[in-house]
Amino acid sequence: MKDLHNNIEVVSLLDPIAVSTTQTITDIDLAGWNSAELVFSIGLDAGTGLSDSHQIAFVLSDSPDGTTYTAVADADMLGVSDITAGNILEIDAADEDNTVYHFGYVGGQRYLQIVGTVTGTISCPMAITLVKSHAQDSPTI
C-alpha cells in the first residue's frame, strides 16, 4: 500500500452544524500545497423541504492575496462543470441532500473563499472539509 496519511492535510472549514443561514468561509490558505479537494457532507434537510425557493447555493472564489476574490470558472475545477458566477453546488431538491459531494480545485491561486447562500427556510446539517495534497515539501509530518 502507498502512504496517503503522511502526504495530505485535512482541514475542517465548516464543523458539522445544521445550517439555516448564509455561511461565509474566507482566507482558506493553500500555501505549500499543489492540490486541493473540497468535500461537502450534506445531511438530510429538516426544513420546509428543498426547492427552488428553499435552497443553499455554494459559490467558490479564489485570490492571490486574500483580499481580492474572483469567482472560479470551469477551468479552475474538477468534478463540476457549467459554473456560473462561481456557483459550484446548489442543493435545491430532496434527492440532492443526504449525500457527499467533492470537487478538485486546480485554479492555482493561494486563497479560497466559500459562500453558502441560504434562500428561504432550510435546516440542513452539513460539514465542509478541505483535503490538501502534493505538498511542496514532503513528507508533511
| pLDDT tens, residue by residue, 16-50 | 999 999 999 999 999 999 999 999 999 999 888 89
Q: Which residue has the higher pLDDT, 138 or 137?
A: 137
pTM of structure: 0.93
CATH assignment of the domain containing 86: 2.60.120.380
Predicted local confidence at residue 141, as pLDDT: 55
The verdict on residue 140 lying in a domain is: no
pLDDT, tens only, 72-84: 999 999 999 899 9
What does the pLDDT read at residue 47? 82
| Selection from 19, 3, 31 nearest residue 11 by Cα | 31
Range of the domain at 69: 8-135
138 pLDDT band, cuts 50/70/90, is low
Task: Using CA atoms of 92, 93, 97, 101 in order, give the dihedral in degrees to the nearest 10.
Answer: -60
Is 3 part of a structural domain of the chain?
no
Q: For 65-121, what is each residue's pLDDT tens digit?
A: 999 999 999 999 999 989 999 999 999 999 999 999 999 999 999 999 999 999 999
- Total domains in the fold of the chain: 1
Tell me if 109 is assigned to some domain: yes
| Angstrom distance (rounded) from CA 128 to CA 37 | 11
